[in-house]
Amino acid sequence: MKRRWKILIGLAVLLAVLLVLNTLALDNETKGAEVTVDGGEIFELAGGDVQVLEDGVEDPADAREKPPIVLLHCYSCSLHWWDGMAPELTDAGYRVIRIDLLGHGGSEKPASGYGIEAQASLVAAAMNDLHAEGAVVVGHSMGGAVATALAEGSSELVDRVVIIDEAAESGQGDLNLLARAQYVPVLGEALFRLGGIGPWSDAVIKSGYGQAFAPDYDLADGFPNPDQVVNDLEAMTYASFDQAHAESGDFIEERPLTDRLTTAAVPVLAIFGSEDQIYDDPAATLAAYEEVPGAVTEMVEGAGHSPNVEAPEETAKLVVDFAAEAAAPGKPRK
């Protein structure tokens, strides 16, 4: 019996050591930027290297007729979450710029630097390099917080802001139990490691992303690559996964997006999916944006937290109609 207890204690100690080593390894892991999409380009910027994909207008004269549209994806996502919408926008004659936020997709994954203002500064630097002034900036979920920070800090770059399914205030919804567990110290790192091991991991990851869509939504309907969400999560480090989530929450808790957007004094369009599973009451969460003077709110019926993926044509039309009222680069804002 004593021998059995010694074995069990030894195994427990070994497991504890492995968990600590795993935690240290993942918390200090970094990754460099790399091109992950045809046409993508790495911009080497002061705060980190980011992947940018530009589509649409090729003639500079045509580019002056309409404002550029900049697309900022959600947390633990990538520029591929705009694959359905981007062609709709380019077909409407817009120059479309997609950016992988730091820690996501093909962009760099440093050990730190994931604050929302820092993300917005990187987006601003990329836009300056592209001479993309007076843009309509569209942010999905966490991307909406980045778009807001961009409007606050770089008003010359932003003519209008579109928020897609990002709550203006904290406390309006939450992730499921499994998702929350991934941010618990030590346990979170262990779950993150296990997510990439074994033939079952893809199914677990896809299930974890289910809350980002309407109930029973088939990912194959929204992405050319049905494993896109798996690729997006596996592209991240634990540091980027953990810190980006925490920084997004801190930014909104510090000051509601509605207050920030009111101060920024830019026209705002807020779009939500009626079946959003993250927020307790999507209609009420959307209605909060009516506090912003002149803001327009739109509900996409049947879509969940990601109408840009689930209903790209309808969502793109809302953006195009809103962008049509914006000032072309170099012209006064309407």
Residue 16: pLDDT band with limits 50, 70, 90: very low
pLDDT for the residue numbered 198 = 47
Separation between Cα atoms, residue 195 and residue 119, nearest integer Å: 26
Mean pLDDT, rounded, for 128-155: 97
Residue 332 pLDDT > 60, yes or no? no
Q: At 221, list the tokens.
A: 């309907």
First to last CA, the chain: 82
DSSP 13-33: HHHHHHHHHHHHHHHT--B--
The residues, any chain, with a CB within 8 Å of residue 210's CB and separated by 6 or more, are 217, 277
Residue 8: pLDDT band with limits 50, 70, 90: low
Q: At what angle are helices 238-254 and 142-153 packed, to 10 degrees?
A: 60
Lowest mean pLDDT across 55-64, 135-144, 210-219, 280-289: 55-64
82-119-327 Cα angle (round to 5): 65
Mean pLDDT, rounded, for 120-128: 98
User: What pLDDT digit, counting tens, does each position of 45-66 carry?
Assistant: 999 999 999 999 766 556 668 9
pTM (two decimals) = 0.87
User: What pLDDT digit, counting tens, does each position of 69-87 carry?
Assistant: 999 999 999 999 999 999 9
Residue 14: pLDDT band with limits 50, 70, 90: very low
